[in-house]
A = this chain, B = another copy of it.
Amino acid sequence: MTKKNAFYAQSGGVTSVINASACGVIQAAKQYDQIGTVYAGNNGILGALREELIDTYAEDDATIAALRHTPSGAFGSCRYKMKSLEANKAEYERLIEVFKAHDIGYFFYNGGGDSADTCLKVSQLSETMGYPIQAIHVPKTVDNDLPFTDNSPGFGSVAKYIAVSTREAGLDVASMCETSTKVFVLEVMGRHAGWIAGAAGLASEAAGQPPHIILFPEIAFDKARFMARVDECVKEHGFCVVVASEGTRYEDGRFLADAGNKDAFGHTQLGGVAPTLATMIKDELGYKYHWAVADYLQRAARHIASATDVEHAYAVGEAAVHKAMEGKTAIMPCIVREEGEEYRWHIGEAPLSEVANVEEMMPRDYITEDGFHITEAAYKYFAPLIAGEDYPPYKNGLPQYASLKKVFVEKKLDGDFAIK
């Protein structure tokens, strides 16, 4: 086998463990003489198009090892979906040009559904444009909506953050509800699927424990039923904790957060599901409320990452390299859950042609019949994904995250490529 370099890039919304996958790719690559070096794209695929390549082998081993406990995308990520070959051939030609110039034979793309699609297209270049390249997709997304894999690396840690935060805030509200806040609303990510909202359900280990109500994008929001349940809950427990997906929507598809409210200046009210629900509750029931929007805090929270998730993320990165060395292309290493009571998993693989652009929703039987909580089946699915703690090192009370030198590879091509 001739020696070839590898290209690795991070794509889409980052997670608290995507760098663990980068760590897996780089550490595994170093085991193979056939791999010259691993170049990382500066800001994802844009780094390839712009010929901005970071030489990961120029970082010292300790820094690469520290990626395992560093959140967000250390090499920069981007939201940039490459069009079809027909629509923008120039872009693909540019990719090949850059790959050729830097002798790149392996393409590792770390992202969600969109990037699985890009990765598939790159693998097809190998045939259509006559340049040999093996393209492997490394799965990542907090949304947990990738098909084939039992779960998406990145999800387990958000799930843990949300479950822990719900338990903690629930205790807070419980202790204050006699004279103060009666309803607390926590807004969580997941515009299309309710996986993250569902994970909040893990906080509840006995009937009546928070969260009392979970709102999923999969279940149409019925204001009257919701209000009745909130009221019932306050009357029964003295308080009510609601966890709402940012994608909570009405029967007609409108998001609660985009309900068309205008402020005094005629601007569409920014909303957020949590403040919208809180206002409704105040207006209809008169209860004192508080609300929180975790936003990026949830997907960046490496300090409370799931050890299982970190292992998964590292393993898919590592496996991507091993599979490339076995000659594979156009595949995605995935997490396979084994049968049995005890949680066991191994790495499998899925063909990219069947992964790209498919979104996996919460199965209906993971949501209780009334649409407000998770079932035992969901609990069994979620629980192992948040298991274990994997704390980063601390100094002066703060987590110490990897800081890269980012040594850029000298450009070999003339001029800049204009991104459309």
**A275 proximity list for chain B (CB < 8 A):** 270-272, 275
A131: Cβ under 8 A from any B Cβ: no
- Is there a chain B Cβ closer than 8 Å to A398's Cβ? yes
Contact of A300 among B169, B260, B301 (CB under 8 A): B169
State whether B304 touches A13 (Cβ < 8 A): no
Which residues of chain B have C-beta atoms less than 8 A from A76's C-beta? 174-176, 178
Stretch in A24-32, A311-319, A363-371, A389-397 touching the partner: A389-397
- A169 to B80 alpha-carbon distance, docked (Å): 21
Q: Contact at B260–A179, with CB atoms within 8 Å?
A: no
Q: CA–CA, A186 to B171, complex, Å?
A: 23
B383 close to A175 (CB less than 8 A):
no
Bound Cα distance from A255 to B299, whole angstroms? 30
Do residues B270 and A263 form an inter-chain contact, with CB atoms below 8 A?
no
B165 with A301: CB separation less than 8 A: yes
Closest to A295 in B: B292
A270 to B291, CA, bound (A): 10
Contact flags A262-283 to B (C-beta < 8 A → 1, else 0):
1111010111101100110001
A295 contacts B291, C-beta separation under 8 Å: yes
A34 within 8 A of B: no
- Is B386 a contact partner of A10 (Cβ separation < 8 A)? no
A121 at the interface (CB under 8 A from B): no
Min C-beta distance of A109 to chain B, whole Å: 16
Given contacts A71-B172, A260-B264, contact A401 B167 (CB under 8 A): yes
**A292 in contact with B290 (CB, 8 Å):** no
| Interface status of A409 (Cβ within 8 A of chain B) | no
